[in-house]
Structure 1
Amino acid sequence: MSARANILGKLRNSLAGTTPRPDEFDERLVTAPWRYAPEDRIDRLRSLMEAVHTEVHPCRSDNWPELVAELLNKRNLTNLLCAPSREHGRALQAHFEATEQKVELLAYDQPVEAWKEELFWNVEASLTGTLGGIAATGTLVLWPDRHEPRLMSLVPPVHIALLKASEIHDNLYDMMVAQDWAAGLPTNVLLVSGPSKTADIEQVLAYGAHGPRELIVLVLEDA
């Protein structure tokens, strides 16, 4: 018998004849203080995010690519990293091709070791989807995967995030239950409330030291 099996066996035997303690968790403790009328969720999330220098734009689900092009041109950005395998990536690519945009669309389609130099020094902006938003804290929830790795939202100086208005929940617990996180948790979850910021010993706040200096959220309403 291996040491591992021996230890587990002792733990199981130690529970013989015992009765499991009842689950006394009361979800109201983590949800009751953080409830909002459905029509107030967007305004609350927006006010909290804008308070920490996030740029929030409500738009329709059928015209957001136009707004992305406008935001990029306004900042004189020449490239944008996106995921062409995702529906929003394909929609953005189709719009840029149809309108002959000068911004170059880049794809995260190779291991980071193969293009680390370009990713960290030449990519000017990125666009990703989100899993949803949390009204209580003004937070975006991202589940990075092989199509949209976490470096897409952490490295480029400007991060544009797409958030469906229908996926804004009152609090994190409600989101976890509604989306059944218990059925399969991701290896990594990102909770994002604003652009990267840090303060030195003199309490001077600087943006972009450890990630994007600008966070732009497009809240997509049904067309």
Structure 2
Amino acid sequence: MSSSAESRERILSRLYNAQQYGRDAYIPQKKVWNIKSQSKDKNIAEFTERMSAVRTEVFRTKGTEWVPALQKLVEERGQKTLLHAPNTPVGKALGANWAKDSSCKLITWKNTIEQFKEELFTCDGAVTGSLGGIAESAAVILWPTVEEPRLMSIVPPLHVVVVEADKIYTSFQEAIKKLKWNKDIPTNALLISGPSKTADIELILQFGVHGPTDLIVFITE
């Protein structure tokens, strides 16, 4: 019998004995989560403070007031195009309330990534929805889909995210519990904390290296 075959038999024998007699078996202890939870106002205040500390612009609005506020903002900055996903709640609100005479044109995500690649890389910014935010780690939770793909939050230099005030959680653990990820976990959930940044070069923090240089968050009531 070869050495590899002997090793295999030895491992299988140990596993069998552990099952039969309970010897050499390791059973990890179940950890109990200590889920912190605080008031909605405190969550919003901490989320805003910590996101602002990493160069994120945070605004509070009611209903769809974020749309004209965003329009004014991008027009003042001279941006010409803004990408959105028309079939999402955020995309529908944007399309319904965006002034037609705006100097910034709404671009609709359509077709496949391969077919839309040329338009995607020329957009000045993109707007997406979110699953919520996390106050403790100053992050927004994204769940990219076919209708609103991940590239929308990576490629354009400006990323705008709309977060519902009631969905800003104290901690990641609370978000997992409230969003019931034990039953319906996203296949590609993302946590975004500020514009893209890296400290790989001489340990100096640089912003806007591998993604958007600007992140704007609208907290809506």
Instruction: Give the TM-score, by structure 1 length.
Output: 0.83
Aligned-residue offset at 1:117: 3.0
1:154 aligns with 2:154: yes
Aligned-residue offset at 1:12: 9.2
Greater Rg over alpha carbons, structure: 2
1:36-68: CA deviation from partner (whole Å, max 9, x where unpaired): 333211110111111110000011123111111
Separation (CA, whole Å) in 2 of partners of 1:93 and 1:114: 22
Aligned-residue offset at 1:184: 2.1
The aligned counterpart of 1:108 is: 109
1:183-205: CA deviation from partner (whole Å, max 9, x where unpaired): 12222111001001123534443
Greater shift after overlay, 162-171 or 67-76? 67-76
Letter in 2 for 1:144: P
SS class of match (1:68)? helix
Greater shift after overlay, 84-93 or 131-140? 84-93
Separation (CA, whole Å) in 1 of partners of 2:131 and 2:162: 9
2:91 to 89, 93, 114: 89
* Change over 3 Å in CA distance of 1:113–1:26 after alignment to 2: same
Separation (CA, whole Å) in 2 of partners of 1:171 and 1:220: 19
The aligned counterpart of 2:8 is: none
SS class of match (2:188)? coil
SS class of match (1:183)? coil
Unaligned runs of 5+ in 2: 1-12
Percent of aligned pairs with the same residue?
Answer: 36
Letter in 1 for 2:89: E
Separation (CA, whole Å) in 2 of partners of 1:70 and 1:159: 16
Separation (CA, whole Å) in 1 of partners of 2:72 and 2:19: 63
Unaligned runs of 5+ in 1: 1-9
The aligned counterpart of 1:72 is: 74
* Change over 3 Å in CA distance of 1:13–1:203 after alignment to 2: closer
Aligned-residue offset at 1:134: 0.6
RMSD: 2.4
Aligned-residue offset at 1:206: 2.7
> Does the 8 Å CA contact 2:64/2:93 hold for their aligned counterparts?
no
1:81-123: CA deviation from partner (whole Å, max 9, x where unpaired): 10100122112112125x5323221122122122323322x11
SS class of match (2:119)? helix
* Change over 3 Å in CA distance of 1:14–1:153 after alignment to 2: same
Aligned-residue offset at 1:21: 5.1
* Change over 3 Å in CA distance of 1:172–1:12 after alignment to 2: farther
SS class of match (2:145)? coil
1:57 to 56, 59, 68: 59
- State how 1:1-223 maps to structure 2 within 5 Å: 15=19, 24-28=30-34, 31-32=35-36, 35-97=37-99, 99-120=100-121, 122-199=122-199, 201-221=201-221
Separation (CA, whole Å) in 1 of partners of 2:212 and 2:91: 20
Separation (CA, whole Å) in 2 of partners of 1:202 and 1:172: 31
> Does the 8 Å CA contact 2:75/2:102 hold for their aligned counterparts?
no
Separation (CA, whole Å) in 1 of partners of 2:210 and 2:118: 17
Letter in 2 for 1:148: E
Separation (CA, whole Å) in 1 of partners of 2:162 and 2:60: 10
